[in-house]
Amino acid sequence: MKEEQELLKFSYKESVRQRDERKMKEPYTIIHTKEFNCADDHPIVYYVVDEKGEAVCEYCYKRFKYEEKKDNKDFVNNALKGSG
């Protein structure tokens, strides 16, 4: 009985380790705000990106990367300038 419990503990720890390893290999989720939250199958938690513009959720290890939102007006204006 004790061996079965030990095996179950090991199996659980290994499955958690593998899940965490997979999460760390996933690409970043791009965000356009420096303050954000994560609620991916865990309690909602709030974060602020670091000086490199990156953050990792401490619950699910989801990775976030901040990028400034591109202004579509500039794209349209530049396209119109080049068309005439």
User: CA-to-CA distance for 64 and 29, rounded, in angstroms?
Assistant: 5
pLDDT tens digit sequence for 1-42:
778 877 677 777 777 777 777 666 668 899 999 999 999 889
pLDDT tens digit sequence for 59-78:
988 999 999 987 766 666 66
pLDDT the model gives residue 75? 63
28: closest CA among 51, 49, 59? 49
pLDDT the model gives residue 4? 80
8 A C-beta contact, residue 29 and residue 66: no
What 3-state class would DSSP assign to 39? coil
Domain that residue 19 falls in: 2-83
34: closest CA among 22, 46, 23, 16? 46
Q: What's the domain count of the chain?
A: 1
pLDDT tens digit sequence for 46-64:
999 999 999 999 998 899 9
